[in-house]
A = this chain, B = another copy of it.
Amino acid sequence: MTKAELGSLLSKKIKGIKTSPIRDILKLTENKDVISLNGGYPAPESFPVKTIEELTQIVVNGDPNVFQYQKTEGYQPLLDILPSFLSRKNRQVISTPENIAITAGSQQALDMIGRMLIDPGDKIAVESPTYLGALQAFNPNHPQYIEIAADNDGVIPASLEQAFIDHPEIKFFYTIPTFQNPTGKTIPLQRRKEIADILKKYGKLAIEDDPYSETRFEGEDLPSLQSIAPDNVIHLFTFSKTFAPGFRIGGLVAPKEYIEAFNKLKQGMVLFTGGFDQALVAEYIRGGYLDKHIQEILDIYRPRRDAMAQAITEYFPNIFEFTVAQGGLFIWVSLKKEFQRLTGLLNMKELLDKAIKAGVSFVPGSPFFANSKGDEIAMRLNFSNQSEENIVDGVRMIGELLNTELSRLQTLGVFNY
């Protein structure tokens, strides 16, 4: 009598897929007294609990159809109100209810995009570094990644164009133009226009992931890529950062033919998205709760970002550089060009192990590079989920560990500065 052994049953596409380092770190630090600068978590004290209570009352006593099976396309009142949300100044996305597909957060949209568009070996252009959750969504389809060079203004249009010339078979370009994950960088207007022109010129598709543009602390709102090249862009949105992640509602805007294909795929995946959560989000937008809540979280996150930027300047050895993001949830710390010779000497995974023991966690940089060799000296620090005091403490602890490491390398004579 034998057992059904998983090893002999696994499909090829699943073999070799890895778990998320962010989620692994979360597990490692679970129930431990560790200052987490790890995940992209909203501040728990910011959750609009009173609002949620009001909204559940409204929805429970409203249309009982929210409890029933839904159309795969989405709950109509949510589809009807989304174009107004998407046309806010921070997105300026052009949409109608027919151009929208509802998903369980952006992650499900990324999964659907990967399945719909990627065959094994297909080429995908990505920012370098890029959101590791997107890589995780695409990886089971076994694409080949073309990394596009970036500077302080995000991806460099000439590099993107060169990639389309060198690899005309590229299926799409995945980008987070606003407060990018992990770098926090934003592509300025002029460069967005250039990218849009390149997409049109080469008949290429861009996946524009935008989970953060509502969380702008300063600077001018920018139009989405989608608003400049609607026929060449699939635009992703989510309410995880502006409502609460516990309701898995996000979606995408795309040309109609794509929406039909997405919904066909979605049928087999989940049949439909939960009506109750969709109705809550519809009421959240309709009742003006969203606008109020965005102001509240900005007031919480802005001083946290400031505290983090100041603490990095103060406590990190000056071999590092970082950009002060104008919004979003992250600061990305990377090695200055002139210290690249440290590569191979400073191991960020080992540093993380020490940091967790010291009482702080962060995400090492390597997993954000699509074709990483694992030796990148960089880290992503989240500022939304900890008090200013904790942020300063956490950054100080990491800074001390870095200084200790550098001293050790100097003592060994392998590094001088």
Q: Which residues on A are within 8 Å of B, measured CB to CB?
A: 1-6, 9-14, 17-20, 23, 26-27, 39, 41-42, 44, 47, 49, 52-53, 56-57, 60-61, 64-72, 104-105, 107-108, 111, 115-119, 122, 133, 136-137, 139-141, 171-172, 199-205, 231-232, 240, 244-248, 255, 257-258, 261, 264-265, 267-277
A12: which of B27, B119, B232, B277 is its contact (CB, 8 Å)?
A: B119
Contacts of A116 in B (CB 8 A): 10-11, 14
Are A133 and B4 also in contact (CB < 8 A) when A65-B44, A277-B277 are? no
Question: 25 A-B contacts, Cβ less than 8 Å apart?
Answer: A1-B201, A2-B203, A3-B231, A4-B231, A9-B171, A10-B261, A11-B116, A13-B115, A14-B265, A20-B267, A23-B271, A27-B71, A41-B68, A44-B64, A52-B60, A53-B61, A56-B60, A67-B246, A107-B270, A111-B268, A244-B276, A245-B275, A246-B274, A247-B274, A274-B274
Q: How far is the CB of A201 from chain B (nearest CB, A)?
A: 7
Q: How far is the CB of A86 from chain B (nearest CB, A)?
A: 19
Instruction: Contact check, B47 vs A53: say whether CB atoms are below 8 A apart.
Output: no
Are A140 and B268 also in contact (CB < 8 A) when A39-B69, A69-B39, A261-B14 are? yes
Instruction: Contact check, B3 vs A264: say whether CB atoms are below 8 A apart.
Output: no
Instruction: Contact check, B39 vs A255: say whether CB atoms are below 8 A apart.
Output: no
Give A53 to B204 CA distance when docked, in angstroms: 48
Contacts of A19 in B (CB 8 A): 264, 267
Give A139 to B17 CA distance when docked, in angstroms: 22
Instruction: Contact check, A11 vs B47: say whether CB atoms are below 8 A apart.
Output: no
- Top 3 nearest A-B pairs (CB, nearest first) are A2-B203, A4-B205, A67-B246
Contacts of A69 in B (CB 8 A): 39, 41, 240, 245
Contacts of A64 in B (CB 8 A): 44, 47, 49
Residue of B nearest to A134 (CB): B268
Give A189 to B265 CA distance when docked, in angstroms: 37
Max count, chain B CB within 10 A of own CB: residue among A11, A108, A202: A11
Copies in the complex: 2
Contacts of A246 in B (CB 8 A): 66-68, 70, 274-276
Give A119 to B5 CA distance when docked, in angstroms: 16
A67: which of B1, B17, B44, B273 is its contact (CB, 8 Å)?
A: B44
Instruction: Contact check, B68 vs A52: say whether CB atoms are below 8 A apart.
Output: no
Are A205 and B9 also in contact (CB < 8 A) when A64-B44, A261-B14 are? yes
Give A261 to B6 CA distance when docked, in angstroms: 9
Max count, chain B CB within 10 A of own CB: residue among A104, A117, A268, A269: A268
Give A19 to B261 CA distance when docked, in angstroms: 10
Residue of B nearest to A11 (CB): B119
A117: which of B11, B23, B27, B56 is its contact (CB, 8 Å)?
A: B11
Contacts of A172 in B (CB 8 A): 4, 9
Contacts of A14 in B (CB 8 A): 115-116, 261, 265
Max count, chain B CB within 10 A of own CB: residue among A6, A140, A141: A6
